[in-house]
Amino acid sequence: MRSYGEYCSIAKSLDVVGDRWTLLIVRELSLRGASRYTDLRNGLPGIASNLLADRLRELEHAGVIAREEAPPPIATTLFRLTPRGEQLRPVLDGLSRWGIPLMTEPEPDDTVRSHWLAGALETMLVDRNPDAPAVTVELQTGDQPIAIEARNGVIHTRLGGAESPDLTLAGPPNPIMGLLLGLLDPADADTRGVDRRGDSTVLNRIRGELEPLR
């Protein structure tokens, strides 16, 4: 593990989590909870197996993650965040908010995983009418469906379809995210391939309020 060699809390933090892939490993464990090595590989397309093993050892040495043996029938090694690692969640949330406007123009070969989108949406969306009955939205995008629920002022997301959703959005992830986060209006999202089925007024209840990059 390389060091900046600076007596500065930011530099000391980056000594631990500043290497390539390291914070994304923390992201996976934050979103998924305790995970197998193969789960991490699936959530980190492009990482070399030996590099993932190195990063896991470094994070374990730094007290950010811990490994444990899962009982039968799983009977495999699981990696999880330690209490010290859990303290990085606000850092990830801040990076997610800061980076959302950068997602307006994805690279054509960008990989998409639905749990990445679900995590960002739970952070960014707001239930603007907490006294109203609960509503659900199903997103059909990425590698699996995402269900969004607004209930009692709280937004919850999970992977998988929603039972009898009030609104279903199907199409490419970029315009769907733009629509939900207030970066695109419905007409623009429609022209970019989003199929809306159900009550589109639900969007007014949960949409974010992010400004695009200037």
* pLDDT 10s digits, 42-86: 999 999 999 999 999 999 999 999 999 988 877 799 999 999 999
CATH code: domain 107-206 is 3.30.1050.10
* pLDDT 10s digits, 104-147: 777 788 899 999 999 989 988 999 999 999 999 999 999 999 99
What is the chain's alpha carbon radius of gyration, rounded to the nearest angstrom? 19
Q: Where are the domains of the chain?
A: 9-87, 107-206
CATH code: domain 9-87 is 1.10.10.10
Evaluate the omega torsion of the peptide bond into residue 73 and state whether it is cis, within 30 degrees of 0.
Answer: yes
Identify whether the C-beta of residue 180 lies closer than 8 Å to the C-beta of residue 201. Answer: no
pTM of the shown model: 0.88
Interhelix angle 173-180/114-124, rounded to 10 degrees, is 10
Name the token pair of 44.
Answer: 């980190």
